[in-house]
Amino acid sequence: MVSPLDRLGPRTRAVVKGVGYFLLAVTTFIFALQLTFPYHRVKDKVVEILSAKYDTKIGGIERSIVPGRFTLTDITLRSRPAKSDEVPTTFFIKSLEIDVGILAGLSQTGEVDIVATIGSGTIAGTISISKSATKVHLVGADLQANTLPMREGIGLPMAGAVKFSVDLDLPTEKAKTGKLGPNWQKAAGSFSFACPTGCIFGDGQSKLKAKLSNSRNAAFAADGIEFGKVNVQTLAMKVDISKGVMTLSQMDMKSLDGELNAQLSVQLAPALDDSDVTGCLRFAGSKALLEREAKTYTAITATGAPLGPDKLYHIKLDGKFKEIKRRGVLCGPGISDQNMDDGNAGSGSGKSPDSRPSITIQDDSPLSPDGGTGSTDTTTNPPPPAQVDAGTPDAAVTVPTSGPVNESNEPPPPQGETQFSPPPPPENAPPPENAPENAPPPEKGAPEGEAQPVDPPPPQQ
């Protein structure tokens, strides 16, 4: 029988043999590297990377026959509480299979396929990093929320089956500083999270640890907020990233304990922290929650948010992504921006009927004669006395003396009023009451409105 190589010419046979030897050498090298590679150093490196936030323990490492594939087993991540009263979060991964793409490495691209087994669920996907972009494709299914670090994200423990997916294509470009970095303005992808069969937020013992950027609010809630349990029948949310905008495109929640609606839009900047955030949270607790979990109902209603015409509490989100501000302002579809203290808003104008009352501070100045508040002084000061030359020997000095109220030394009446002088007494008028018996009648030539001098009574004997 004639071999196929016998049909080739001598030069072709030499080329084929050379290629075969090369492939054999490469294959031998790859398998030898797989069998001799110090994977225990990979284990130590993983512990070192996670040591900044977690106390990490890895039970073991298993190498596979397939080159570039290995498995870490019995991984325990325990968070480090910042305060003594905080409850640490424990995250356990039964196994983490990692497959490094050797062929992708030849094109200067680091590609890793992972499959993590967490309880009864799995997280599987691919992470690819190159000079031009970072791509993440992950899918989590049949996961139990109590086996995930949910407390780190929402500030409360969570129970129930959840699933999620991440699809992100993030370009890498040179920034203004000249360094390469991710450009979120050109990112594309989506993120989804769902709790299809029911979830429970809170465990009845842990306090709500909200992450607040405002130092005053953070100090007020430093010890945490009493929070019980909130039952949710279904929850589904989705975030889309396209054309420089990150949008919350879906937010569906059904619960007998309350209602939650959310809108979110992020105008992406090249750096994610510099992106502008606009959003609105509307929520309320139900009567059933009040009867079952009074503290939880109080925690929901005592946030300082105003109650809108839709009977929901409103919190507006704005600011930069790095420090999102939460403001007690009516927001959402059909409601204009109005502060909770805006007195011009009323029913039908977006103003909460139960908003805080306002007090108008009145002026404490005394009332003026014309009925004003007295804040403007309308009294006319008397003219200054005439200057007298001290060197004149015959200079006259006017000495003020007491007299009737209508004399010239009486201060003028306030502006806006006219002073009336009493009419002169008629001739042959009877003497006034209590007048002395020997008082002479007033002289005819006396000025009008001026009293006549009266002789003093004789001394008593």
Output 154 or 8, whichever has higher pLDDT. 154
pLDDT in the model for residue 169: 96
Among residues 443, 406, 437, 404, the alpha carbon closest in space to that of 425 is found at 443
| CA atoms of 139 and 376, how far apart (whole Å) | 74
pLDDT in the model for residue 150: 86
| CA atoms of 51 and 59, how far apart (whole Å) | 16
| CA atoms of 157 and 149, how far apart (whole Å) | 8
* Residue 276's pLDDT band (cuts 50, 70, 90): very high
pLDDT in the model for residue 36: 78
- 181 has which bridge partners? 173
CA–chain centroid gap for 307, Å, is: 17
Q: Report the number of distinct structural domains present in the chain.
A: 1
Which of 70-84, 378-392, 405-419 has the highest mean predicted lDDT (pLDDT)? 70-84
* Residue 22's pLDDT band (cuts 50, 70, 90): confident
454 in any annotated domain = no
59 in any annotated domain = yes
Give 180-190 pLDDT, tens digit per residue: 889 999 999 99
pLDDT at 93 over 80: yes
pLDDT in the model for residue 295: 87
* Single pTM value for the model: 0.64
Average pLDDT of the segment spanning 364-378: 46
pLDDT in the model for residue 259: 92
390 in any annotated domain = no
pLDDT at 15 over 70: yes
403 in any annotated domain = no
- Amino acid 249 reads S
| CA atoms of 424 and 250, how far apart (whole Å) | 94
The share of the chain scoring above pLDDT 90, in percent, equals 34
Among residues 81, 41, 37, the alpha carbon closest in space to that of 58 is found at 41
pLDDT at 344 over 50: no
Task: Look at the block and give the residue holding tokens 């979060």.
Answer: 89
Local structure of 34: helix, strand or coil: helix
- The residue count of the chain comes to 461
* DSSP summary character for residue 387: P
pLDDT in the model for residue 192: 96
Among residues 235, 266, 272, 234, the alpha carbon closest in space to that of 248 is found at 266
pLDDT at 268 over 90: yes
* Residue 203's pLDDT band (cuts 50, 70, 90): confident
Among residues 209, 180, 200, the alpha carbon closest in space to that of 87 is found at 209
Sorted by sequence, the CB contacts under 8 Å of residue 131 that are 6+ apart come out as 108, 172, 180
Among residues 145, 155, 166, 162, the alpha carbon closest in space to that of 91 is found at 145
Element (H, E) at 151: helix 150-154
pLDDT at 342 over 80: no
What domain range is 44 assigned to? 38-131
Element (H, E) at 159: strand 158-174
**Residues 453, 455, 458: CA angle, nearest 5 degrees:** 165
62 in any annotated domain = yes
| CA atoms of 251 and 263, how far apart (whole Å) | 8
pLDDT at 97 over 90: yes
pLDDT in the model for residue 2: 59
pLDDT in the model for residue 380: 47
* Residue 101's pLDDT band (cuts 50, 70, 90): confident
61 in any annotated domain = yes
* Residue 343's pLDDT band (cuts 50, 70, 90): very low
pLDDT at 357 over 60: no
Among residues 123, 156, 157, the alpha carbon closest in space to that of 137 is found at 123
- 55 has which bridge partners? 78
| CA atoms of 314 and 307, how far apart (whole Å) | 6
For residues 385, 390, 394, 398, the Cα torsion angle rounded to the nearest 10 degrees is 20
pLDDT in the model for residue 394: 43
Give 124-178 pLDDT, tens digit per residue: 999 999 888 999 999 999 999 988 888 877 888 899 999 999 999 999 998 777 7
